[in-house]
Amino acid sequence: MIASDRRDRRSARLLVVGADGGMRHLPRAALASLFDPGDLVIANDAATLPACLRGVHSASGEPIEVRLAGWVSAGDPTRFIALAFGAGDHRTRTEDRLSPPPLSPGDRLVFGALEAVVERPLDPPCLLRLQFLGDRATVLAGLARHGAPIQYAHVPEPLALWDVWTRIAADPIAFEPPSAGFALDWRTLAIWRRRGVDFATLTLAAGVSSTGCPALDSKLPFDEPFRIPERTAAAIVRAKANDARIVAIGTTVVRALESAAMAECGVRAGDGFARGRIVGGTQLRVVDAILTGVHQPGESHFELLRAFAPNELLERAASALVERRYRGHEFGDSLLVERTRAAAFA
């Protein structure tokens, strides 16, 4: 439980980096009064799986920790791509974790009442494909009972599912929380509705963002399956036609919308995969502003911001975040970056 962080939800802060290069420091609750009538805010409503399982590798008797990291077939909870570690827990930085025992196809992994079989080890060796034994209901019951949210050394207390589900969390298909969504609550959505700010969602199975395994981290993020509802696609067309802004809550929303962007205007509704990275120089076709957590230059979440604003402005923003002691990580403060107007993006 992370009671102290949750208490801070109400006192969280927000740095707004405007399209004109200006910066404003606000309480995050002020999010409700931002944006104009007609603007469209889009969030990722994926709920998060208890994707971390600790158990035993039957063949060796060695402890093993498995972190589910990708779907073999989106929404089928019996087969996953997963990362494996040896003994230890989240209090050790992932970089310093022991390797798992050598894995061979057919090896059994036992997590309490939940059992899995290694379909095959992948490359690099900390990656594998596994299948849980049993039908959908059995596997979900096993995950519910024996799984825990994936977490990192910066939060020492064990996380519970209620810590990692955003207020809008619906389908449990993400491996890590779409954490920018922690900034949203139903009060904010109600105020936006009254003010004529539109709200819509998409669902993207947010995956593991870093593993500590350098060979693997260079491949991240994996291609992530997403679904864009018809209503959301229609709202985007409407907003674009009215010259209103599209505000993405989190990098997952940017990745989904830009992957589904069509040549003319708007996005394809339906299922797709978010592929590749968005970085400086990536042409954004849909999103006009992004709300995200506080990240360091070099992290993929920060590098994505370079598609929104010039490096010089982001450096100033990064300095301001450090100077004013904004809190990082997924339960920290927030940053809103508006896409710099083309003329200023030299």
Partner 1 sequence: MPTDTNLKQLRVAITGGTSGLGLALVQRLTARGARVAFIARTARAVELIAKETGAYGIVGDVGRKDDIYPIALQVTGNLGGLDALVNNASSLGPTPLAPLADTECEELEQALTVNLLGPFRLTKALFGALAASARDRRGAVVINISSDAAVNAYSGWGEYSASKAALRSLTAIWAEEARAEGVAFLSLDPGDMDTPLHALAIPDADPATLKRPEDVAVEIVDALIAALPNWDARPIAARA
- Per CB under 8 A, the list member of 55, 77, 178, 221 interacting with partner 1 is 77
- The answer to whether 117 contacts partner 1 (rule: CB under 8 A) is no
284, 245 Cβ separation under 8 angstroms: no
Question: From residue 118 to residue 137, what is the string marking binding to partner 1 with x (rule CB under 8 A)?
Answer: ------------------xx
**Residue 323 falls in which region: left (phi positive, over 0), alpha (psi -120 to 50) or beta:** alpha
142, 112 Cβ separation under 8 angstroms: yes
Torsion of CA 84, 85, 89, 95, to 10 degrees: -110
- The answer to whether 49 contacts partner 1 (rule: CB under 8 A) is yes
- The answer to whether 165 contacts partner 1 (rule: CB under 8 A) is yes
- Per CB under 8 A, the list member of 63, 229, 310, 328 interacting with partner 1 is 229
As measured in angstroms, the least distance from the Cβ of 73 to partner 1 is 14
CA separation for the pair 288, 42 (Å, rounded): 11
- The answer to whether 324 contacts partner 1 (rule: CB under 8 A) is no
CA separation for the pair 233, 246 (Å, rounded): 11
Closest of 93, 97, 70 to residue 81, by C-alpha: 70
- The answer to whether 39 contacts partner 1 (rule: CB under 8 A) is no
As measured in angstroms, the least distance from the Cβ of 172 to partner 1 is 5
- The answer to whether 71 contacts partner 1 (rule: CB under 8 A) is no
Q: Coil, helix or strand for 4?
A: helix
- The answer to whether 169 contacts partner 1 (rule: CB under 8 A) is yes
Pairing of β 334-338 and β 289-293: antiparallel
- Per CB under 8 A, the list member of 75, 156, 276, 297 interacting with partner 1 is 75
Q: By C-beta, is 24 or 187 nearer to partner 1?
A: 187
- Secondary-structure percent of the chain, ordered helix, strand, coil, rounded to 5: 25, 30, 45
As measured in angstroms, the least distance from the Cβ of 90 to partner 1 is 19
206, 174 Cβ separation under 8 angstroms: yes
- Per CB under 8 A, the list member of 16, 28, 42, 45 interacting with partner 1 is 45
Applying CB under 8 A, the residues found at the interface with partner 1 are 45, 47, 49-50, 75, 77, 136-137, 140-141, 143-145, 160-162, 165-172, 186, 189-190, 193, 200-201, 229, 231
